Structure 1
Amino acid sequence: MRRVAITGLGVVAPGGVGVKEYWNLLTAGRTATRRISFYDPSPFRSQVAAECDFDPAAAGLTPQEIRRLDRAAQFAVVSTREALTDSGLDIAALDPGRVGTSLGSAVGCTTSLEREYVVVSDGGRKWNVDHEYAVPELYRHFVPSSMAAEVGRAAGAEGPAAVVSTGCTSGLDSLGHAVDLIREGTADVMIAGATEAPISPITSACFDAIHATTPRNDTPESACRPFDRTRSGLVLGEGAAILVLEELESARRRGAHIYAEIAGFASRCNAYHMTGLKPDGREMAEAIDVALGEAALAPDSVDYINAHGSGTKMNDRHETGAFKRSLGAHAYETPISSIKSMIGHSLGAIGSLEIAACALAMEHGVLPPTANLHEPDPELDLDYIPLTAREKKTDVVLSVGSGFGGFQSAMVLARPERRTA
């Protein structure tokens, strides 16, 4: 089986554009959550989010690209360019048909679609909307595949192109799809990751309706509190992370810098409830078991777990149960943290942002903390790295995701030499 290496990273995230700024935020334990500024949030139960301070022109997009691309697509293109530069890969020297694209997104071009609906419906007053008021790019916004096409265009990739939309596990699942294409020989290089720009009135209304987001509006900077006794729901976020994935031996031959190998991946569905989770975490545990088995690594080899850690009681209990079920006694010795405490939950993008964080944690020997964890929930008895980053060399890292619809995904990163040994 061909093996797959991560050789490039690109990030647009709350608190900073670019990998360096992203990593500085995470290791400092700073939060990027604040009162929503994109629209008046006062009608909504939850009025906080983790917004990106993103200037598309300053990020290098042309006026034509700014006009054409939805905010989520802008994030993806900017991240793609950074990832390709970081990888040192000369795309022009490759067969473009052997370079593919795999992009995750849960809600596609939400920002542009809502904006245009308001225009064509005259603020929602007209049931029969007037299409003549719509921008020419509206069709692109309706079709999520347009974002994968834009990433492929930015990379010069003419191989397989896909959008993976599996809710909040999209960012992990898109990477898993890319890994499969390289392993089976369909592609040699994949530009893969996820993007999301969901902070809009319609999204706020949807999450308000099910009380999934926090009502802690008085202190936005500490609103997201995974594993804390006082947690009250998730905080919406936005952003993108794009990774350059290559066949491992080819990357070694060209002397590429290798962050980590994607050694194992698995996904399951609980077939139980659209939003509900069982506390035993059986389906997530099964995904973890299969991912570790694919990587040929034992449960006690895991050095760090990047948790889903959304800030809801149901999720915290579910994944804590899953870690114990899969890792056994080793779960009590394994440091765990949730970066959603700092950058919010960017729905389909978060899985790729978390994998980028895991690769950086392995690179620098530092584990990001769980911010705002001041009062650990006594029901949760694992090591959740509160408040301050921790120095620790890691050879094997596990990242998990959980999504509405019952999706449970797990991905294992490892140092290539560890797997060889």
Structure 2
Amino acid sequence: MTRRAVITGIGVVAPGGNGRDAYWDLLSAGRTATRAISLFDATAFRSRVAAECDFDPVAAGLTPREVRRMDRAAQFAVVAAREAVAESGVDLGSYDPGRIGVSVGSAVGCTMGLEEEYTVLSDGGRNWLVDHTYGVPHLYGYMVPSTLAVEVARESGAEGPVALVSTGCTSGLDAIGHGVQLIEEGSADVVVAGATDAPLSPITSACFDAIKATTPNTSDPEHASRPFDGRRDGFVLGEGSAVLVIEEATAARRRGASVYAEILGFASRSNAHHMTGLKPDGREMAEAIRVAMDRARLGPDGVDYINAHGSGTKQNDRHETAAFKRSLGQRAYDVPVSSIKSMIGHSLGAIGSLEIAACALALRHQVVPPTANLTVPDPECDLDYVPRTAREHPMERVLSVGSGFGGFQSAMVLGRPRSARETV
């Protein structure tokens, strides 16, 4: 029997609103959550805007010990995982722990914890030789990115396959793809999968400033993220987490679960070309799309909406537009495309999971979230990018794509639940 993977729970920590419902309200209203950076003094940086989460760990249910132990990225992931599991209605205690898996993606791990501790240990960078005795007891955990997956596994009681996936900005998509594979191959019956990143720190800002990838538009933070717009000048950093509960479809149906979507196909490719550069023809992304659609048994006419990577850099947006045309042909001009990074920024490894959560919610509500701030079309980006306002649109299958430093290109196809018993 073919095992199918379905999404039964969604948990979110995001800029502009924590929790699944607040997240969808923001996206469907087309509101932006980008603003001047407040988490640190950014006056010395070229780019001084970000999409920050208004996150109080204690109010979110974490204990003082958990707050002390966990980096901000881990806190996001655990809170999102709790919401996803509770919302799915799955009783993880009734499962063999060895049949519960965890797959968490992150591009930069515990960046904030590491930078804060380095600042203390080095006395603000003045000492080359640091005194380790000033470090917190959990400093080693900050250095090991797999700590993020371990915290989610601990929260979920998972003793099956547990992994940390770090493939740059496609980490969220790839982590969910890995979770789907665990279900399909029979290695797990339920997987808590998603991604988290909290990269808003001086070191991250300095790195992106150096390559001029982030926007210098500090005078109008609300409109600084402008994917596909002719005036775009770089992406806006963000942070956050989305975690999904993924189950084997038959078991989910048997327990009466409400299913958001079935994950129909996933593929990833690399361009083996350049750490940050993209070829203008979009060939590698197009190939990932083609393989994901083949696995979903879809032709170009089977895609009803594309959730774009849409970072807001000229290089990416043109590369991606070319990939859609290359993979879908003439159909690319008829399919609505949008980028939610226009509203919540680019949270690096976490964004792929946030985008899959958005796709699942779009399928449930039959609404395409907009590309906010798109007012001046770029002639080289000539598809239907759903500017500024959400759109009611019938959807059976949606495509989400990601592109990351290192040449990573990933694509995933989601479909509406097959059975009437799997719908709301």
Fold match by TM threshold 0.5: yes
Partner Cα separation in structure 2 for residue 243 and residue 116 of structure 1: 31
- Tell me, yes or no, if structure 1 residue 364 matches structure 2 residue 365: yes
Query: 1:363 is matched by which residue type in structure 2?
Result: R
Match of 1:275 in 2: 276
Matched residues, number:
418
Partner Cα separation in structure 2 for residue 303 and residue 317 of structure 1: 21
RMSD after superposition: 0.7
Query: 2:145 is matched by which residue type in structure 1?
Result: P
Partner Cα separation in structure 2 for residue 221 and residue 156 of structure 1: 40
Report if aligned partners of 2:107, 2:168 keep a CA contact under 8 Å in 1: yes
1:97, CA displacement in angstroms? 0.7
Once the two structures are superposed, the pairs formed by residues 236-247 of structure 1 within 5 Å of their partners are 236-247=237-248
Partner Cα separation in structure 1 for residue 157 and residue 81 of structure 2: 11
Partner Cα separation in structure 1 for residue 89 and residue 417 of structure 2: 19
Query: 1:336 is matched by which residue type in structure 2?
Result: V
Partner Cα separation in structure 2 for residue 142 and residue 33 of structure 1: 29
CA deviation map 1:57-88 (0-9, x unaligned):
11000111011100000000000000001100
CA deviation map 1:341-394 (0-9, x unaligned):
000000000000000000000000111000000111111110000000000121
Q: Give the TM-score of the pair, scaled to structure 1.
A: 0.99
Partner Cα separation in structure 2 for residue 296 and residue 253 of structure 1: 25
Report if aligned partners of 2:231, 2:376 keep a CA contact under 8 Å in 1: yes
Partner SS state of residue 118, structure 1: helix
- Tell me, yes or no, if structure 1 residue 162 matches structure 2 residue 153: no
Partner Cα separation in structure 1 for residue 303 and residue 297 of structure 2: 12
Partner Cα separation in structure 2 for residue 99 and residue 336 of structure 1: 35
Match of 1:288 in 2: 289
Once the two structures are superposed, the pairs formed by residues 57-68 of structure 1 within 5 Å of their partners are 57-68=58-69
Match of 1:343 in 2: 344
Tell me, which stretches of 5 or more residues in structure 2 are unaligned? 420-424
Partner Cα separation in structure 2 for residue 160 and residue 108 of structure 1: 20
Structure 1 stretches of 4+ with a deviation exceeding 6 A read none
Match of 2:142 in 1: 141
Partner SS state of residue 314, structure 1: helix
1:417, CA displacement in angstroms? 2.2
Partner SS state of residue 16, structure 1: coil
CA deviation map 1:231-283 (0-9, x unaligned):
00000000000000001111111110010001100000000111011111000
Tell me, which stretches of 5 or more residues in structure 1 are unaligned? none
Partner Cα separation in structure 2 for residue 136 and residue 106 of structure 1: 24
Partner Cα separation in structure 1 for residue 6 and residue 397 of structure 2: 14
Q: Percent identity?
A: 72
Match of 1:10 in 2: 11
Partner Cα separation in structure 2 for residue 40 and residue 146 of structure 1: 28
Query: 1:184 is matched by which residue type in structure 2?
Result: E
Partner Cα separation in structure 1 for residue 121 and residue 279 of structure 2: 43
1:155, CA displacement in angstroms? 1.1
Q: Give the TM-score of the pair, scaled to structure 2.
A: 0.98
Report if aligned partners of 2:260, 2:417 keep a CA contact under 8 Å in 1: no
Partner Cα separation in structure 2 for residue 15 and residue 203 of structure 1: 21
Partner Cα separation in structure 1 for residue 185 and residue 85 of structure 2: 23
Report if aligned partners of 2:24, 2:361 keep a CA contact under 8 Å in 1: yes
Partner SS state of residue 35, structure 2: strand
Query: 1:71 is matched by which residue type in structure 2?
Result: R
Match of 1:46 in 2: 47
Once the two structures are superposed, the pairs formed by residues 18-417 of structure 1 within 5 Å of their partners are 18-417=19-418
Partner SS state of residue 149, structure 1: helix
1:416, CA displacement in angstroms? 3.8
1:199, CA displacement in angstroms? 0.3
Partner Cα separation in structure 1 for residue 318 and residue 158 of structure 2: 42
1:4, CA displacement in angstroms? 0.3
CA deviation map 1:7-55 (0-9, x unaligned):
0000000001100100000011000000000111010000000000000
